[in-house]
Every structure is written in C-alpha cells, then in structure tokens.
Amino acid sequence: MDRLIFHIDVNSAFLSWEAVYRLHILGEKTDLRQIPSAVGGDVKKRHGIILARSLPAKQYGVRTGDTLADALRLCPELVVVPPHYDLYEACSKALMELLKEYSPCVEQYSVDEAFCDMTGTAHLYGSPVAAANLMKDRILKELGFTVNIGISTNKVLAKMASDFKKPNLVHTLFPDEIESKLWGLPVDELFYVGHATKRKLHALGIHTIGELAKTDLDILRAHFKKFGQVIYAFANGIDMSVVSDEPPKNKGYGNSTTIAFDVDRPDTAKMILLSLAETVCTRLRADNAMATVVAVGIVNNEFKHETHQMTLFSPTNITNEVHRAACILFDELWDGSPIRKLGIHTGKVVYGGAERQMNLFDLDRYERFIKLDRAVDMVRERYGEDSIMRAVFLKNPVYHMAGGVAPEKRRPDYGNGIKE
C-alpha cells in the first residue's frame, strides 16, 4: 500500500489566531483577516519585523520578514498588532489534539504546521480528498481558523501541495501529478531552495523545478555537494523520510536578542550575554542535555554579522561556565563597533549523564554551581521565571533571561484595542 501523507498548514497563523481571539473572546467587530493588518514587533525596541500579514496586506506588497517601517511605507493604513505567544501555543496545541483524532501518527513540524500519516485511515472518511476536507472544515468550525491541506505519498510533496493556492483549500500532488503541477513552478518555490541557492541555480540556467529535475545530477553535486542531491530528489518528488510523532532531539540550543539601544561598552554586552546564558542553560538543563561547543554572534549597527566559537574542556549546562566561555569569545571577536544584536549558541549536545573530564582546580566550584542552578530552576519552575534573578539585573533595562519571549509578549493583553 502506498503511503498517504497529509500536510496541514495554518493560513497566516499568528494573524488568524489573533483575529479569532479578538472576535470570539473579546467580542470585537473587526476581523483582522479582512483588512490590511499584520502581527509585528515593536519599532521602538527594534524588533520591528512582520511575523504574519493578512491577504489584503499582501495585496499591498507587504511580506513576512519585512521591517515594520517598510510595511508601513507600502501600506500606510496597515493595522499592526503585537505578538502574544501564549495564545499561539494554546491554538497550536488545540490543532494538534484535533488532528490526533484522525491519525495515530501526527508530527508537529512547527507551531502552525503538522504532518499526518493517513495510510490506511483516510478511507474511513471516504476518499483522501474527502477526509482532508472534513478535517479542514472541522478546524474552521471548532477552532475558528482556516488551514490548507496538501495530500501526497510523501512529506515533501504533501508540503508542496499545501503551499498551492490559499486559503482554506485542499490540494493533491501525487507522483503522477508532478509534471503538471510542480515542474512549471519557479525553482525557488521548491522546499529547501532559498535565495542563495536560487541565485546559483539561475547562474546555471535552471529557473524552474522541472529544469532542476532534469539536470544531470553530477552537475548539481559539483556545484552544491550533497545538497545538490537533496534538491534533485525533491524536484523529482523523492523523499524517504517518515512521519514521526517523536520530536527529534535538539542538536544545539541557542538564543539571541535585538537590543533596544546600541551597546558600546563591554560590561553591558557581557551582562546581556549573561542573560542569554541564563535562558540557554535553563533549556539545556530542562532537557537533561549538555553542550560541548559555545558560539557567540554579534550584529553591529551596520548589520555586519560575526561569529566565533570554542570547544569546552567538558560538556556543561552550567550558566556560569557558558557565560565565562561567551565572554572569552566576545573579547576575541568584538571590534568595538556599536552592537545591535547578541546571541549565544551551543553545539555538540550530549544527553543524559554525560561524563565530565575531571579538573582538580574547579571540582568543588563545579559541584556548587550544579546545586545553585538546580535550586534556581526549581524556584522558577514553581513561581515563574521572574521569581528569582541575579542582583546585577535589578533595576536594570536588560531583562534577566533575554533571548526568549518577554512576559509582556506571552500574555495576551488587548486593553488598548487593535490599532498600534
């Protein structure tokens, strides 16, 4: 029996979820989906990026990823609302629970996307298309937002199908439909092909997915190494990955933060790195993981990006150790330019009780740090992340756990209406 895979994708997820909450919970009359609107960050804090936009906003040329300033130039009447991540997590969870009623194997691909392995189950509801329409219509009726559903025999083709005409539609892309539905599309619409790959493919005279599918594989390998084989397979509808309801383990943990002011002092930068280390290491400890590599990224006020990394003596998830490594990297990397954004990222993650290389000079300190971090985690888990913080962050504009989502963005608060 051929596999049967559904890909479910929420249409303009953040904006749809905001609209549904405002209409059905707050009783507002304006549907954000019907007017030029967008979910975006705070210009004053320099987080001014469009996270989602309505179809009317799209008609003005507003795109996801645009700065708010650019979006407002394209559409001066654009209604911008701030993001509320607790709301989005709740909507995402409700969606996944509904999908599990249709399939024994649901893989959450992102907060607003999922794959369902419908092999042997779709025909319980009629044809695969009938099953997808039933699922789609129930999501709208019970949860209030629309989705696109793509249907195929593997994950890549199902995902490509869900990206066809939107919103609130079901599309198929079976192997015998690849030539008619897929090959005529621009090559950058293929999954995994971004702007840089698009430019390289265009330089090779490859402009459509069909042209990529018919290109000699040796030519693609010569220019793209193993990645050339991947996009060649996708263009030909080949994907052997399976739908898995077990989330893969993280290969790395990281957080970054755009700073509300230009940082030109090393002590301030290192305080921000400490707040990032708090967030990253809390996540590592929660997953019983340790990192062997620490990297620091800096973006200056001219948007120049630099990174630097180091391998640690032993794997760790101790906040002080990761911060100490980050400070060493920062001192080696920073050229004195005003800093706009800082990040800490970790790699070569090991899980479980990883062996630690003994060091007689820090054995006692290591044990004390383990107990300290464990106690702090327990307090924050019980009373909230703001219940305990380092004294250096008191009455300080730097949030003590930067890089995550600030509390004011997590909790929906619509007291000021929808107009920013």
Task: For residue 18, report the phi and psi dihedrals to the nearest 5 degrees.
Answer: -60, -45
CA distance 20 to 151: 26
**Would you call 113 a catalytic residue per the annotation?**
yes
Using the Cα atoms of residue 42, residue 113, residue 279 and residue 315 in order, give the sign of their dihedral: negative
User: Six-digit token pair at 165?
Assistant: 């005409």
Q: Which residues contact 116 (CB under 8 A, 6 or more apart)?
A: 5, 6, 7, 8, 99, 102, 103, 105, 106, 107, 243
Q: Pick the catalytic residue from 18, 107, 113, 321.
A: 113
| Residue indicated by tokens 């120049």 | 304
Q: List the beta bridge partners of residue 186.
A: 208
DSSP annotation of 54: -
User: Six-digit token pair at 282?
Assistant: 């809390």
Q: Which residues contact 76 (CB under 8 A, 6 or more apart)?
A: none
Instruction: Kindly report each contact of residues 140-144 with a partner whose C-beta sits within 8 Å and lies 24 or more positions away, as own/partner.
Output: 140/168, 142/98, 143/20, 143/91, 143/94, 143/95, 143/98, 144/20, 144/23, 144/24
CA distance 149 to 163: 9
| Catalytic positions, written as ranges | 113
